[in-house]
Amino acid sequence: MRKKGGQARKLFEQREILASGLPSFAEIVRGSLVTRYRRCGKPTCHCAKGRGHGPAHYLVVTLKPGKTEQILLSEQMLPVAQQFLNNYKRWWAALEKVSAMNRRLLRLRVPALRESRPTTSA
C-alpha cells in the first residue's frame, strides 16, 4: 500500500513537471518544412544550370491521404512556423508520456485521480 502510494506520488509529480514545461497550446502547427529551389524556365537564366531560384520555404501538411496543403512562408514567418512545429512535437510527446503515466495511475487505482479531476458537468 505504501509502495503504491509512493509510485503514485512520483507519477503525479512527473505529470506536473511535464505539464508545466509545455509551450503555449495555442502556438502549435502540424506539418513539415520543405525547402524548394525553382527553375523559371528561361534557357539563359542561371537557374537552368545551377541551383534554382530560392530558397522558398513551405509548410506542408497532409490533411488526408493524398491531400496536402502547402503554405509558402515569408522570411518573417519561417521562424514562427519552425517554433510552432517544434511546439507541436513537444505537445505530442507530452501527450504520449502523460497517457502512459495515467495508464499506470489507473492500474494502481489511485483514489486521488478522482479528486484531481475537474468537474465539467453543469
Q: Which residues bind Zn ion (CB under 5 A)?
A: 40, 45, 47
DSSP code per residue over 36-94: EEE----TTSGGGTS--EEEEEEEEEEEETTEEEEEEEPTTHHHHHHHHHHHHHHHHHH
Instruction: Give the nearest distance from C-beta 53 to Zn ion in angstroms.
Output: 5
Cα–Cα separations (whole angstroms), residue 3 to 78, 110, 115: 49, 12, 20
Identify which of residues 10 and 53 has a Cβ nearer to Zn ion in the complex.
53
Q: At its nearest, how many Å lie between Zn ion and the CB of residue 72?
A: 17
Nearer to Zn ion, 45 or 60 (CB): 45
Nearer to Zn ion by Cβ, of 47 and 98: the residue is: 47
At its nearest, how many Å lie between Zn ion and the CB of residue 47? 3
Cell 511535464: give the residue: 18
